[in-house]
Structure 1
Amino acid sequence: MVSKRGRIDQFIAGTLQVSKKAVRELLITNKVLVDGQFAKSPDLQINEFSHIECNGVVLRHYQKQYYMLNKPDGVVSATIDDKHPTALGLMIGVNTDMLHIAGRLDLHSTGLLLLTNDARWSEALMAPEHKVDKKYLVTLANPLDQQYVEAFANGMYFEYENITTLPAQLTVLSSHLARVVLREGKYHQVKRMFGRFRNPVLALHRESVGEIMLDNQLTPGEFRSLTKAEVDSVFQH
C-alpha cells in the first residue's frame, strides 16, 4: 500500500469536486475538522489515517490495522489469485480493502504472515537496510552436518543476481530438521541455500519476524490482531 499523504485543500477539492476557492471558504468558516481539530491552513498535511470531516460529514476515517495469520500450506500470499486460496481470503470479518502483506511466504511455506494497512510500519519491518531477523523451521530430505552451519554463516554467492547473502544462523535440531535465522529475504533464499547441498526442503515454517512470534494458539488459517507491544516492537530497533 502506498502512503496517501498530501494537502488538506487538495483532498477536499478532489473529494467534493469543488474549487480551491470554495475549499478556502470552508476552512475559514471552520467547516473542516482533521483529527478533531479545525483545519485552518490549506497546506495542512494529512495522511491515509487522518480523520477528516466537512460540514459534519466524514470524508475519511481509516484505522490502523495489524494482524498475524498462521498461513497454511497451499495458500498464496496475495490479494487475488485464480488458482489458489489467498491469505486475505482467510481474513473473515475484516475490511481487507487497504490491507497488504508485510513479507510474503511461498505457496507451500507455512507460519507467520503479517498483514497491515500501515505502509510506514511494514517498510520499517521489511526494508532490507533494517535487517530484521526472520526465523524459520526447515525440514530437509537428507541428513544435515556441520558443513551447513559454516556455509550459512559465511554467506553464499548467487551468480544469477550477482549477490552474496548476508551471514545466516543455522542450528541443527535433528538429522533432518534445522532452524534458520535470516536478516534478509532473497527470492526462495532458504530453499536455494539448501539447494547448494542438493538437499530438498520438504517443509518451511516461519516462526517469527523481529520480536513478533507466531502465536501457537492459532491453528493454520486462524489470525488475530497484533498487541500494542508487538506493533511497537518494530520501531524499537
Structure 2
Amino acid sequence: MASKRGRLDQFIARALQVSKKAVRQLLIDNKVLVDGKLAKAPDLQIDEFSHIVCNEVILQQYQKQYYMLNKPDGVVSATVDDKHPTALSLLAGINPDMLHIAGRLDLHSTGLLLITNDAKWSAALMAPDHKVDKHYLVTLANPIDESYIDAFANGMYFEFEDITTLPAQLTILSTYQARVVLREGKYHQIKRMFGRFRNPVVALHRESVGNIMLDNTLLPGEYRVLTKAEVDCIIQH
C-alpha cells in the first residue's frame, strides 16, 4: 500500500466538487486548516493522515493505526479470502478500511503479525536496507545438526529467482527445534532453506520483528494496539 500524497487544492476540489479557482478563494479567505494551521498554498503537499478542515467542516481526519496480532494457524495474511478467515477479520470492532498487513505469514504459520494503515512505516519495516531482524521458532520433522548453522549463515542460492539469500542465523534449541533470524522474507524462505536438508518444517512461529516482540499475554487470534515505543523503534531502526 503506497502513501497517498497530493496537492491540497486537488483534494479540496474533489471533496467539495468545486473548481480550483473556488479553492484558491477559500485559501485567500482563510477558510482552510491543515493539521490545525491556516493553509495558503494551493500546492501544499498532504497525505492520507493530514487533518483537513474547510469552512469549519472536517474533510479528512484519518488517524494512524498500528496493531499486533497473534496469528493462529489457518488464518490467511490477507484482507479478503473466499476459503479461510483473514487476519483483518480478527480485529473485532476495528474498521478495516485502509489497513494492510506489514510482513505476511503463510496460512499455517503462527505468531506476530503487524497490521497498520501507515504505508511509510510498513515500508521501513520490510525494506531489506533497514535490516530489521525477524525471529522465528521452527519445529522440524527430522533431527537438526551443526551442519545447518553454516549453511544458513552462508546464504543459499535459489535458482528459480536467481537470488542468494542474505546470511541467516540459526540456533539449535533441541533435536527438532531451532530459532532462525532473517533480515529478509523471500517466498517460503525458511521452509525452502530447510528443504535443502530434506527436513520438512512442522511448525513456524514468528516471535518478533525488530524490537517488537509478540505479547505473550495474547492468545491466538487476539490483538492489541502497539505502544508508541514499539512504533518508534521501527522508524528509528
TM-score class, shorter: over 0.9
CA displacement at 1:81 relative to structure 2: 0.1
Deviations along 1:192-222, whole A, 9 cap, x unmatched? 0000000000000000001100000000000
Q: Distance in 2 between matches of 1:9 and 1:57?
A: 16
- Confirm whether residue 31 of structure 1 aligns to residue 11 of structure 2: no
- 2:13 corresponding residue in structure 1: 13
Distance 2:220 2:112 in 1: 10
Cα displacement (A) at 1:128: 1.9
- Bigger shift: residues 69-78 or 130-139: 130-139
Displacement of 1:7 after TM fit?
1.0
| Letter of the structure 2 residue corresponding to residue 229 of structure 1 | A
Correspondence list, 1:143-154, <5 A:
143-154=143-154
Whole-Å separation in 2 of the counterparts to 1:95 and 1:174: 42
Structure 1 segments, 4+ long, off by >3 Å, are: none
Match of 2:222 in 1: 222
What residue identity is the alignment partner of 1:124?
Answer: A
- Map 1:79-90 onto structure 2 (within 5 A): 79-90=79-90
**Distance in 2 between the 1:113 and 1:119 partners?**
15
Residues 1-237 of structure 1 correspond to what in structure 2 (within 5 A)? 1-237=1-237
Matched to 1:120, the amino acid is: K
- CA–CA separation in structure 2 for the residues paired with 1:162 and 1:42: 47
SS at match of 1:11: helix
Say which SS state the counterpart of residue 58 (structure 2) adopts: strand
Deviations 1:156-208, CA, capped at 9 Å, x for gaps: 11111111111100000000000000111000000000000000000000000
Structure 2 letter corresponding to 1:92: A
Q: Residue 96 of structure 1: CA displacement?
A: 1.2
RMSD over aligned Cα atoms: 0.7
1:38 offset after TM fit, Å?
1.2
Q: Matched residues in 2 for 1:174 and 1:147: separation?
A: 14
In 1, Cα distance between equivalents of 2:41 and 2:156: 54
Normalised to the residue count of structure 2, the TM-score between the two structures is 0.99
Alignment length, in residue pairs?
A: 237
Letter in 2 for 1:90: L
Give the share of equivalent positions with the same residue, in percent.
80
Deviation at 1:41, TM superposition (A): 1.1
The Cα of 1:129 is off from its aligned counterpart by 2.0
Partner AA of 2:230 in structure 1: E
State the alpha-carbon separation in 1 of the partners of residues 121 and 180 from structure 2.
24
TM-score normalised per structure 1:
0.99
Stretches of structure 2 that go unaligned for 5 or more consecutive residues are none
SS in structure 2 at match of 1:12: helix
1:42 partner letter: P
Distance 2:36 2:185 in 1: 41
Deviation, structure 1 residue 121? 0.4
CA distance in 2, matches of 1:129, 1:214: 23
